[in-house]
Chains A and B, each alone.
Chain A
Amino acid sequence: MGPLFGPILFAFVINLSLKQSLGEADEPLDVPVIGQQYAPNLMAYLKSHNINITAAPADRAAALKAVKTGKHDLVLVVPEAFGEELADTIPATIVVISDFANTQAQRESRRAMAALRSYNREIATLRLVARGMNPVVLRPLNIDVVDVSTPSGRSALLLGMLSYFFLFALLTGGMNLAIDATAGERERGSLEPLLCLPVTRDQLIFGKIFAACLFMSLSLSLSLVSFYVTLKFIPLEKLGMTPNFGPAVVVKAFFVLLPFTLLGASLMTLVASFTKSFKEAQTWVSIVLLAPTLPILIVSIMMVRPSTELMFIPSLSQHLLLVGLIKNEPTNILHVLLSVGGTLLAGAILTMICARLYRREGLLG
């Protein structure tokens, strides 16, 4: 169920926050102002910038209380001396009261302050012109920003965490099976009868690991497809992001992540083989599963670039390759081969260790 609900939850949360931040930009903002009568021009300016001036609390103390209790998100206070200070070319104080722990209030106060700042610039420009100076003197630098990122590239900012999610879905998809097939067999007492059958122990353990791999692949494809579908409902274009997650990418992502199933299955089987009960195995396997997912968490914060050496590290290499796919960067065949080969090799080694374990007499405990 996780693989299905994860993307849906993700889409819901992203949609909600997008709606919050983008929707508000077009609506008029209501701001209570104490002392409106002391700055009529400023009030008119604010009105022209889509800000409604509404009735305010009685005084500053009342204003502080109102903002603290959440009655208002933002209150402006214009002191009586405002007009005089402005006329005397003294910096005229205007107080902005808000609650920066509240994201909504933060957004509103940012809008209000942006309007105030642009009023500030206008007055400053007028003053220079009145003194016979060209306002351009206040702009020594012309900063030209060139952004090389593409819309697909920018989408990786939001979707970079995806590989963590897919790997997690992959691992949890096979976890119960891997545990049940090893620790569960011992707990049920169904292991000894199995060992009495005319099959080799190698056949038994390979069968169990392969079954776990199968379930993990299913879980992986489910989460990939589910995300492909839910992505259509997230309007990332409004943020200037165009995620590259079409059917071709889904298929490529599947084959990039697939080698990890062997590694995950053999690792979980190995850990579960040492435990004596289903519950004990669940605890240990959950801890051990941090190891593959940790590199991804670290890297998504540190913004590491893919390099040939990193391709040997499982989970990390899958993450970097997946981010490259989402960014629509050209595929580096060498990197893909190293990632697949390295991960499969690690999986094969762990599988061999499991086989060795299974040939021991002490298996029955």
Chain B
Amino acid sequence: MIAVKDLRKSFGEVKAVDGVSFDAKDGRITGLLGPNGAGKSTTLRVLYTVLRPDSGSATIDGVDVVADSLEARSLIGTLPHAAGLYPHLTARENIAYYAALYGMPSDRADERVAQVIAQLDIGEFADRRTKGFSQGQRTKVALARALVHEPQNIILDEPSNGLDVMATRSLRNLIRQLKAANKCILFSSHVMQEVALLCDEIVIIAEGQVAIHDTPDGIRNQTGCDDLEDAFVKAITALGIRR
């Protein structure tokens, strides 16, 4: 479970995150939706401890990301925006390398590597060097290595970037599987359709602030729009007026 309270982060003059609060629960899929430059990536980066907030707090399963960042990292599996692989290693070796870095003992690691390869349907190309992999294959391997240590919380930054239809569907299936296993899933996107299909709760962010945080139905009710896209535009505009 992830809890964010009044998070603020500025880069010089720019207020990237300006008082963001929400929480993501276990067994739920929570989506961060917003236009480009809204502060989604920055918020996620604070959560997976690559950036430090100027003020406010964030906890992962109760562990503070600033005070105990090392422990917090062991509780999450992250798919950052740029998730590069090592070209001279095979897919399996890339995943096994991360398993070792997560501190997994080697027999357990071997077991888990085989499991995630099966779960993500990587078996066909598992023993090929990742140089020359397609975007879909890369994302799968990057996901596999983020999940190898069975984290309770999974954070994905625009995971369907550059994926074709089939790859996007299989990603969707995977996320639903993880939800069924009672994991907490938080992902960011600017693609309406994806968020509408998957999310149990949506946090709409614009200009570093939360416009609305509710279930898709709740958002429709609140804004009085049947179409989620209309609701989104209305919520963001309302935020602009409020400021």
Contact = CB atoms under 8 A, between A and B. Distances in A.
Interface of A: 185, 188-200, 361, 364
B11 to A, nearest CB: 9
B43 to A, nearest CB: 15
B142 A196 contact: no
B82 interface: yes
Contacts of B183: none
B22 interface: no
Nearest to A204: B101
- Pairs A-B, 9 closest by C-beta atoms: A189-B82, A189-B84, A190-B84, A188-B84, A198-B74, A196-B78, A198-B73, A192-B80, A197-B101
A194 B81 CA distance: 13
B73 A196 contact: yes
Nearest to B94: A190
Interface string B48-66: 1111100000000000000
B84 A197 contact: no
A300 B71 CA distance: 55
B83 A361 contact: no
Contact of A198 (B52, B82, B103): B103
B76 interface: yes
A23 B80 CA distance: 70
Contacts of B86: 188, 190
A221 B193 CA distance: 60
28 contacts: A188-B84, A188-B86, A189-B83, A189-B84, A190-B84, A190-B85, A190-B86, A191-B84, A192-B82, A192-B83, A193-B78, A193-B80, A193-B142, A193-B146, A195-B49, A195-B50, A196-B50, A196-B73, A196-B146, A197-B73, A197-B101, A198-B71, A198-B73, A198-B102, A198-B103, A361-B50, A361-B51, A364-B50
B229 to A, nearest CB: 31
B50 A197 contact: no
A197 B48 CA distance: 9
A183 to B, nearest CB: 13
Given A190-B83, A197-B102, A361-B52, 5 more contacts: A189-B84, A193-B83, A194-B101, A198-B73, A198-B103
B218 interface: no
B84 A198 contact: no
Interface string B131-162: 00000000000100110000000000000000
B51 A197 contact: no
A198 B70 contact: yes
Interface string B84-101: 111100000000001001
Contacts of A194: 101
Contacts of A185: 84
A189 B146 CA distance: 15
Contacts of B82: 189, 192
A364 B48 CA distance: 14
Contacts of A188: 84-87
* Residue from the set B80, B98, B103, B145 with the largest chain A CB neighbour count within 10 Å: B80
A13 B3 CA distance: 71
Contacts of A198: 70-71, 73-74, 102-103
A198 B83 CA distance: 17
B70 A196 contact: no
A196 B48 contact: yes
